[in-house]
Amino acid sequence: MSDTAEKHRIVIVGGGAGGLELATKLGKKFGKKGLADVTLVDATLTHIWKPLLHEVASGRRNPGEDEVSYLAHARANHFRFRLGRLESLDRTGKVVTMAPIMDEDGREMIPRREFPYDTLVISIGSITNSFGTKGVDENCVFLDSRKQADRFHKRLLNTFLRAHSRVGELEEGQLNVVIIGAGATGIELAAELHNTARQVVAYGLDKISPDQDVKLTIVEAGPTILPALPERISSGVLKQLRHIGVEVLTGVKVTEVVENGLNTETGEFIPAAIKVWAAGIKGADVLAKLDGLEVNRINQLVVRPTLQTTHDDNIFAFGDCAACPQKDNPRNVPPRAQAAHQQASMLVKSIASRLGGGGTLPEYVYKDHGSLVSLSEHTAFGTLMGNLTGDVMVSGRIARIIYVSLYRMHLMALHGPIATMLKVVTQWMTGRLRPALKLH
Ligand SMILES: Cc1cc2nc3c(=O)[nH]c(=O)nc-3n(C[C@H](O)[C@H](O)[C@H](O)COP(=O)(O)OP(=O)(O)OC[C@H]3O[C@@H](n4cnc5c(N)ncnc54)[C@H](O)[C@@H]3O)c2cc1C
């Protein structure tokens, strides 16, 4: 790709579930033929599909097998990748600026850089919302990035190793994990951790009893778990969680998290060595500082149904970082990989229309194809929604197969059918050769 100034410059900031699919499609459609200059900027060098992070955290998934190198992927798909973290925006000059990047020793590796654009797309995802609860930032683990999932995994292993090599009794809460938030992330993580506890013991840390020593608790402020899903599903999931020994506390508000546990509104103290906050999302602080672009109360960029930001036709935002209205629903489009995937596909058409000289842009309508919650290897529960089938409940093995196929769809969007098939076969074979749990 040459750096000619005449070409329409498309800059995408954030190469996640949505942004990387968009860059791939635009690269193939326009970059390859030299019709546009497509640049993807991300704060990290590799991509991993965010819905896999709880499996990375628990150790079931080795992230090295699933990560995509942005540089290599960009080369194969005719776009340019640059490492950078969104810092500021100049809408008049049509320039987006990335903060300097430091290396591990704190030395500047890449200086502050400016990227001029004709079309800017912001897709930097979301971060966990602590709702200002005291002690959360200092004492909780989050699952917003690969780095955090890796850190969690290491901490979990260290906790088990320490408990196994102890002299005498376990300390109070030494093997307790409390997850705050009973949405899909918290629940899926709890089920994975239940498995992990059994596997570490099977791999030799046999001074630990997974049933007596390890305690997994989910704390939810609302009256039910999985409030966004039908009651039949949440009750099925609840039953299964209790069956495998996960304690689920609903209607319990956490007021403060401290080093060795958390305090609730009713004055109860729940001891725990590891506290995971998975109770809601918000946009990163930088989004509120983008040259007057409108944000909502949780810091998402407010967009129109065309996914253009409300104050600037040349700037689009989508995925978790965008607040996109729905026509027949007072709620915004939910922050889900499904929505980011659909929006990326629509934006290819929108950008084609801009390159072709304008015209009316398509409007995004969220198509809910259903929701699935996986309980590790135990089972999965969910709904599937289709034009022909209507709303169908699924559970067990079939639901688990469909859940896995969601990731395959993302792989297909990135690599096409043949490479996806090869990846699936290779992973299956690698899975036979390595331990079922990542133990380092
Ligand atoms: C554990 C877990 C399980 C989930 N399970 C499901 C599920 O089963 N189904 C479902 O539909 N959804 C699920 N989700 C939600 C789903 O992951 C998100 O909705 C989806 O990833 C959003 O896509 P995105 O492209 O908006 O952002 P992301 O996929 O989060 O990507 C954001 C990208 O932006 C980059 N970035 C961040 N900040 C900056 C910055 N300042 N500058 C430059 N780059 C930046 C990041 O490195 C990342 O690559 C799950 C989420 C989690 C955490």
pLDDT tens-digit map of 209-248: 999 999 999 999 999 999 878 888 888 899 999 999 999 9
Q: What pLDDT does residue 387 have?
A: 57
How far does Cα 61 stand from its chain's mean position?
15
Q: Tell which atom from ligand 1 comes closest to the C-alpha of 372.
A: 8
Q: What is the pLDDT of residue 390?
A: 61
- Would you state the pLDDT for residue 101? 95
Which domains are present in the chain? 8-126+283-364 (3.50.50.60), 136-277 (3.50.50.60), 371-433 (no CATH)
- Give the nearest ligand 1 atom to 340 CA: 23
Answer whether 14 contacts ligand 1 (Cβ < 6 A). yes
Ligand 1 centre from 10 Cα, in Å?
21
Is the Cβ–Cβ distance between 310 and 336 less than 8 Å? no
Is residue 3 pLDDT above 60, yes or no? no
> Which residue's CA is the closest to the ligand 1 atom numbered 48?
16
* 296-302 mean pLDDT: 97
26 C-alpha to ligand 1 centroid (Å): 20
Counting Cα atoms < 13 Å in the Cβ hemisphere of 102 gives 4
Query: Which three-class secondary structure string do you get for 155-190?
Result: HHHHHHHHHHCCCCCCCCCCCEEEEECCCHHHHHHH
Q: How much is the average pLDDT of 377-400?
A: 72
The atom of ligand 1 lying closest to the CA of 403 is: 8
- What digits encode the pLDDT tens for the residues 109-138? 999 999 999 999 999 999 999 999 999 999
Whether 323 shows a pLDDT value over 80: the answer reads yes
Residue 54, ligand 1, Cβ within 6 A? yes
The pLDDT, as a whole number, for residue 318 is 98
Instruction: Give the pLDDT band (50/70/90) at residue 389.
Output: low
- Report the nearest-CA residue for atom 52 of ligand 1: 51
Q: What is the mean pLDDT of residues 151-175?
A: 90
Beta-carbon contacts of 167 under 8 Å, excluding residues fewer than 6 positions away, are none
Pocket flag, ligand 1, residue 50 (CB < 6 Å): yes
Q: What is the pLDDT of residue 2?
A: 45
In which band, very low, low, confident or very high, does the pLDDT at 393 lie, cut at 50, 70 and 90? confident
Mutate to test the pocket of ligand 1, among 49, 83, 124 (most ligand atoms within 8 A of CB): 124
Does the beta carbon of 146 sit less than 6 angstroms from any atom of ligand 1? no
pTM (global) more than 0.85: yes
What is the number of the ligand 1 atom nearest to the C-alpha of 189? Answer: 1
Test site for ligand 1: of 336, 381, 404, most ligand atoms within 8 A of the Cβ: 336
Q: How much of the chain exceeds pLDDT 90, in percent?
A: 75
pLDDT of residue 388: 54
Q: Give how far Cα 179 sits from Cα of 229, 246, 247, Å.
A: 19, 11, 10
Average pLDDT, the chain: 92
CA 130 to ligand 1 center in whole angstroms: 17
Checking if the pLDDT of 5 tops 70, the result is: no
Report which ligand 1 atom has the smallest distance to the Cα of 278. Answer: 53
Strands (E) located in 303-378: 308-309, 312-317, 322-323, 370-375
* Residue 15, ligand 1, Cβ within 6 A: yes
pLDDT of 336 reads 92
The residue whose CA has the least distance to atom 31 of ligand 1 is 16
Q: Give 370 Cα–ligand 1 centroid separation in angstroms.
A: 18
The tens digit of pLDDT for each residue in 402-435 reads 888 889 999 999 999 999 999 999 988 988 888 8
Under a CB-based contact definition with an 8 Å cutoff, are residues 354 and 8 in contact?
A: yes
The yes-or-no verdict on residue 373 having pLDDT over 90 is no
Residue 6 confidence (pLDDT): 83
Instruction: Please work out whether the CB of residue 42 comes within 6 Å of at least one atom of ligand 1.
Output: yes
- Least-confidence region, from 347-351, 367-371, 392-396: 392-396
